[in-house]
A = this chain, B = another copy of it.
Amino acid sequence: MSTKQKRYFLTEEEIPTQWYNIQADMVNKPLPPINPATKEALKPEDLFPIFAEELARQELDQEHAWVDIPEEVRDMYKYYRSTPLVRAYGLEEALGTPAHIYFKNESVSPVGSHKLNSALAQAYYCKQQGVTNVTTETGAGQWGAALSYAARVFGLEAAVYQVKISYEQKPYRRSIMQTYGAQVTASPSMSTRAGKDILTKDPMNQGSLGTAISEAIELAVNTPNCKYTLGSVLSHVTLHQTIIGLEAEKQMQKTGEYPDIVIGCFGGGSNFGGISFPFMRHNILEGKQTRFIAAEPASCPKLTRGVFQYDFGDVAGYTPLLPMYTLGHNFMPANIHAGGLRYHGAGVIVSQLLKDKLMEAVDIKQLESFEAGVLFAKAEGIIPAPESSHAIAATIKEALKCKETGEEKVILFNLSGHGLIDMAAYDQYFAGNLTNYEVSDEDVRKNIAELEKVI
């Protein structure tokens, strides 16, 4: 560790009061989500049965670049924001790189990750509309913990479907959700038709985010006064997460530097979009040349090996069809510990941006991610979530390139969450029990081939 560690904060007055909607500034707008029944472009009203109305409107809004953050949400943001922007001198020294590395530390939120930024917003809009119950899915449990917390804040009942493999690997995230008063069910479960269909075919099914989403949606549409909420992928979730990048932008000004590279780990895209989009706006509007790198797990490589095509967001096909980079909604990701990244597709905004080469993607193997996580813990004193370690690994790659070339590039990455609930995974890593879970070309082809039937 370095005693030169330096943190940058914003004053309460400097904390942004609006989220940034990059759709308004994109030259090529994302293609519209499609109603699978009518094959027509989705209207906000089509989403009202599932989502709070304001969230449905935000989802499809391609006009307004700036969206006011409701005062009630800002009040709750103040409880943990601004989050620190940290100059990672320790990591720089450990790598011997001339690069200047910064990270935005979202792990300081009361639930330990960035997920709360959108959970508070979604719970607020539900409450405002008179909703009493919310459902959701969660992988590693970061989103579920955040939604449980946010539901508690706004007096809603929360029901969470947690991917079974994570429910078993990370029992303490379940305990956290329960401490906040949420009901937690391992998915696939026998409580929904979607879950039953899977379990009757495959009783040992370990679950996936796609399956848990199906279950949560099914519960929401069958429960009075209940709405579904989602932790990533969708555009309104990413919108809320732009608070990360908007703060980081102001904090970078205080450092006197501007990022050459911005990096985020990638599950559905909300954390990556959250840190990236406010900076990408300057690429789009002012011709800045910052590079944006999404770090996805090599075992779930939708950005680096998937196809850009309309697909369902869930396994059962309850969602609208989304134009996305996808491995096919039946792709069953390996049981990596970065449960939050085990999702077959990418959000529609990010997918369009990748197609248009406004961003890049890199795949990180599980062992490489843990190696990076341990190096970071020793260098900076914070144990990262396995998801965030993917961003760290990508950062290390770039920083080592700078070491070769001697370039003093400025690299900013998002530390999306801490790994204190993931210590069992670290134990497994130290014991040499983790593997890389390679995905064969055949696996990728097979699921993508099935997509032809979708639309």
Contacts and interface: CB of A to CB of B under 8 A. Distances in A.
Interface in A144-193: 149, 152-153, 171-172, 175-176, 178-181
Most buried by B among A76, A179, A382, A383: A179
A427 interface: yes
Most buried by B among A171, A175, A178: A175
B171 A427 contact: yes
A382 B6 CA distance: 26
Contacts of A382: 110
A423 B424 CA distance: 13
B172 A378 contact: no
Given A3-B76, A75-B3, A420 B112 contact: yes
B172 A420 contact: yes
Nearest to A9: B9
A336 interface: no
A179 B377 contact: yes
Contact of A181 (B72, B171, B378): B378
B110 A178 contact: no
A3 B1 CA distance: 37
Given A153-B381, A175-B427, A381-B152, A79 B5 contact: yes
Contact of A1 (B153, B175, B420): B153
Interface string A1-28: 1011111000000000000000000000
A268 B83 CA distance: 33
Nearest to A379: B152
A423 B75 contact: no
Contacts of A377: 179-180
A176 B175 CA distance: 20
A420 B3 CA distance: 27
A145 to B, nearest CB: 10
Looking at chain A's contact residues, the main secondary structure is helix
B381 A5 contact: no
A356 B271 CA distance: 56
A413 interface: no
A78 interface: yes
A378 B158 CA distance: 13
Interface residues of A, number: 39
A66 interface: no
A430 interface: yes
B430 A5 contact: no
Nearest to A377: B179
A421 interface: yes
Contact of A179 (B4, B176, B378, B421): B378
Given A153-B1, A430-B178, A172 B110 contact: no
Contacts of A7: 78-79
Interface in A105-153: 108, 110-112, 149, 152-153
A76 B4 CA distance: 8
Nearest to A2: B153
Interface in A373-392: 374, 377-378, 381-383
Interface in A295-338: none
A160 to B, nearest CB: 16
Given A79-B381, A152-B381, A381-B149, A423 B1 contact: no
Contact of A176 (B5, B6, B72, B383): B383
A181 B430 CA distance: 11
Nearest to A428: B175
A381 B154 CA distance: 12
A423 B172 contact: yes
A330 to B, nearest CB: 33
Given A176-B383, A423-B421, A3 B378 contact: no
A3 B153 contact: yes
Given A172-B420, A420-B420, 4 more contacts: A3-B75, A5-B78, A6-B78, A149-B381
14 contacts: A1-B152, A3-B72, A3-B153, A5-B75, A5-B79, A7-B78, A79-B381, A110-B381, A172-B427, A179-B374, A179-B383, A179-B423, A181-B378, A421-B423
